[in-house]
Structure 1
Amino acid sequence: MEVNFYDIEEIEDSLLFAAVIVSKFKGKWVFCKHKDRDTWEVPGGHREENESILDTAKRELFEETGAKSFDIIPICTYSLSRYAMLFYAEIKEFDEMPDSEIERIEFFSEIPSNLTYPLLHLELVNKVINTLAYNNGCS
């Protein structure tokens, strides 16, 4: 599996298929558990027709975590077989989770080992960590 990363403006918006949101709440990573799986995953999902990719990210973050109040920033575009936008969110407050395919969320100090897509999720989390560190003047 090879994940390719691109600058935000490098890939045309109309080609973005999905949004994935690496997120934290009070310093802990937020992961979702799908009802049909025993593994953890990063919130995210497919873009709906006539929806901006930012609106996709906000909707998916709410639908999959119940996040009510948050700051969200785009990190980059990435691809496996299709293009998606990677975001980072600092969640401030949760509401009740809507009825969806997500069973529950949990907060982790470390990235959980039993990930639904282990190689992809680790690449995405590391990209967020490195981008945030670089933008904060850290090396």
Structure 2
Amino acid sequence: MQIKFYNQNALDKKKYSIIIPLYEGKLVLVKHEKRDTLELPGGHIEKGETAEMAAKRELYEESGATSFELTYLCDYSVEKNGDLGYGSVFMAAINKFGNLPNFEMEDKFLVGEIPENLTYPEIQGEFIRKYLVKNGENFEFKEI
């Protein structure tokens, strides 16, 4: 597998938006109802959506975040087993949560460490390590 990072808006054929969200210094991860692992919020960019629109929608649907500041970080590609996927990475500073919408996520978790049980550890772990730094028991975003 190979992950590449690109400047903002470097790619046209983006299919995914991934969000690295923080709330009060903790990383927000979500648990899908059909998996035992944790993951970053994100998903497919739907027809008619921009990557940013998809990121905002996915962050709300998967975490219940109702007030947040979203920042576009970069585009990325992942090549795995001959398949190539493209997307955008965003960071989010969450101010407020509402109830978790009744979609596909079972719960959300605030973590102070990168867990070993990430759904896609080689991909999402790389995003987290690239853009977050530990400060005591909390995370902070790295300078862009």
TM-score, normalised by the number of residues in structure 1? 0.91
Match of 1:9 in 2: 9
Q: 2:100 aligns with which of 87, 97, 102?
A: 97
Shift of 1:127: 2.1
User: Which blocks of at least 5 consecutive residues in structure 1 are unaligned?
Assistant: none
For residues 133 and 117 of structure 1, what CA distance do their matches in structure 2 show? 22
The 5 A counterparts of 1:117-132 are 117-129=120-132, 132=141
2:109 aligned with 1:106: yes
Which stretches in structure 2 are left out of the alignment for 5+ residues? 79-83, 134-140
Return the alpha-carbon distance in structure 2 between the equivalents of residues 126 and 76 of structure 1: 14
Report the CA distance between 1:23 and its aligned residue.
0.6
The aligned amino acid for 1:56 is A
1:128 Cα deviation from its structure 2 partner? 1.7
Instruction: Give the match for residue 90 of structure 2.
Output: 87
Q: Which residue of 2 aligns with 1:50?
A: 48
Count of residue pairs brought into register by the alignment: 132
Q: Which has the higher helix share?
A: 1
Task: Give the match's secondary structure for 1:61.
Answer: helix
Deviations 1:36-90 (A, max 9, x none): 1110000000011111111100000000000000001011000111110000001
Q: Who is 1:39 aligned against?
A: 37
Larger CA deviation: 120-129 vs 24-33: 120-129
CA RMSD of superposed structures (Å)? 1.2
Please state which structure has a larger fraction of its residues in strand.
Answer: 2
Large movers: runs of 4+ above 4 Å: none
The CA distance in 2 between the partners of 1:51 and 1:99, in whole Å, is 21
Question: Could you report, residue by residue, the CA deviation over 1:7-43 in whole angstroms, capped at 9, with x for unpaired residues?
Answer: 013212xx11110001110000000001011100000
The question of 1:75 aligning with 2:84 is answered no
Q: How does the TM-score come out when normalised to structure 2?
A: 0.88
* Displacement after TM superposition at 1:122 (Å): 1.0
